[in-house]
Structure 1
């Protein structure tokens, strides 16, 4: 195979779901519907948290940030995937591919950091409820969020720069967006430095929030056992169950998709995981938090009542203006 320098690769061809050509129309409709549900569901959750005074707490601030991340994550990848499923040009320029890689890795890593911050919030609320307001504040949550953005951005920038320095032997990316693993597969030589970073620095940035979450829930479990209270156990389960489900959805797919050698890359399996991670999980997150959270359901009901009241007054307002 002829070696071609990276400067000769001015664009990549995203093959998308080329292995399932007969399923393209069905997949297009399903993915489009899930994308719309994900965007509208997360946007509604952000609006409710911003407008409802009862949700102006650090926990719901973090939840609104998680919804914003989900909107960003699915929008980075899904619209391009849908366009490339149509009989049109499937190319993406080299620079746009690297930019997409940077934002995808940044947003994907940021989701884990937010879930870790939410685990810390739940740990403080259950293990030290009397000092909760002193431990957790809006200022602390804002600091955690901004610091996390800086860390994941620098991490993604490092990966993106290293990818631009690779020598490619082709430009056909066996994926529906520019991700690190399929790009490494195009390298003419084994990208040892990149793979070492994935299993060292990548683990530190991406997986360390997961271990922090495990530590937080271990502390919660110890606190519940010491209290010997069924009421406390029930409250902890109702408080943490939604968060645990979201954590399992995220890290179950992320660890399988990214933290492994590129030699074990499997096209069909990775496409399924990527679709689940970029489409299904962002769609399920707002449903999990809204359906299993009484405060969010109450805020949604209050918002809809306000909209109905405004809708009922609107005709009278227009009639008075005409009169």
Structure 2
């Protein structure tokens, strides 16, 4: 195919998850179910935290932000994928592709730094409990989240600008969304330097955040093992287990995809890993935090009891 620069590319073709027609409809209903559970779970978590005063603490302030981010970055990719399952023409405009890439990168990086801030919050709660309210003040929480979004905006801007300057010789994206690695493979020229920039940026985000989390949990575990009572240890572990599970799932898949050369794994492997962290993890996070957190379960029961009581009053009146 003759070389053409990016200004002549008006749209891309998304390869999708499968080329087998008989799987399109089952996949549509599967991912529609996953997306519906994701919407209900994350919106429900945000509403639950807003409506219950006992959850107005830094930990749940960050958790509500995590639910918002999960909601957003799942919405960046899943609706378009659902349309493609039932559409005969799986195309996306050049501007739409760059916009999808930008917002996907924005929310994925935000998720990684939000998980890091949550690890720091757990460190303060367990290792410095007497100073928790002083250290994790409203101002500190606001500044931490502001820093999270500043880092994500910087990273997503740099990578999107780089990709928008590339010349593309092909228009078939062998993926179900505009991922940075899939777009790099369409370039007319050598992308070694771009691979290195993407690898460096992704490596910086993953390594810095994971090291911060590792240090935080090293101090947390050290403090937990010094607790003399079984009840105290169990309570301390319960406050961290949900976050640790969410963090493990997210970092495991993102490290597999981005901390390697773009040609180091098969398309099928990349698709499976991408589906896991773009669709499955945003669905699982609110379930993990609600099922393994006593405060959330208590608030949920209180809210449901309140709704049932109001419904009974209305019915009797």
TM superposition score category, shorter chain reference:
over 0.9
In 2, Cα distance between equivalents of 1:312 and 1:194: 62
After superposition, give the CA deviation of every residue in 1:250-299 in whole Å (9 maximum; x if it has no partner).
01111111221112242111111111111111111111100111110111
Which residues of 2 match residues 1-323 of structure 1 at below 5 A? 1-315=1-315
Paired residues of 2:199 and 2:258 also in contact (CA < 8 A): no
Paired residues of 1:72 and 1:107 also in contact (CA < 8 A): yes
After superposition, give the CA deviation of every residue in 1:132-176 in whole Å (9 maximum; x if it has no partner).
111112221111111111111111011001001111111111111
Q: CA deviation at 1:310?
A: 2.6
In 1, Cα distance between equivalents of 2:51 and 2:228: 38
Q: CA deviation at 1:315?
A: 4.5
Q: CA deviation at 1:235?
A: 2.1
CA RMSD of aligned residues (A): 1.5
TM-score by length of 2: 0.95
Paired residues of 2:110 and 2:152 also in contact (CA < 8 A): yes
Name the CA shift for 1:135/1:243 in 2 (closer, same or farther; >3 Å). same
- Per the alignment, in what secondary structure is the counterpart of residue 86 of structure 2? coil
Q: CA deviation at 1:204?
A: 1.5
Gaps of 5+ in 2: none
Paired residues of 1:19 and 1:268 also in contact (CA < 8 A): no
In 2, Cα distance between equivalents of 1:20 and 1:44: 36
Paired residues of 1:3 and 1:169 also in contact (CA < 8 A): yes
How many residues are treated as equivalent by the alignment?
A: 317
Deviates further, 69-78 or 202-211? 202-211
In 1, Cα distance between equivalents of 2:270 and 2:213: 26
Q: CA deviation at 1:233?
A: 2.5
TM-score by length of 1: 0.94
Paired residues of 1:57 and 1:138 also in contact (CA < 8 A): no
Deviates further, 308-317 or 51-60? 308-317
Deviates further, 306-315 or 121-130? 306-315
Gaps of 5+ in 1: 318-323
Paired residues of 1:159 and 1:194 also in contact (CA < 8 A): no
Paired residues of 1:152 and 1:205 also in contact (CA < 8 A): no
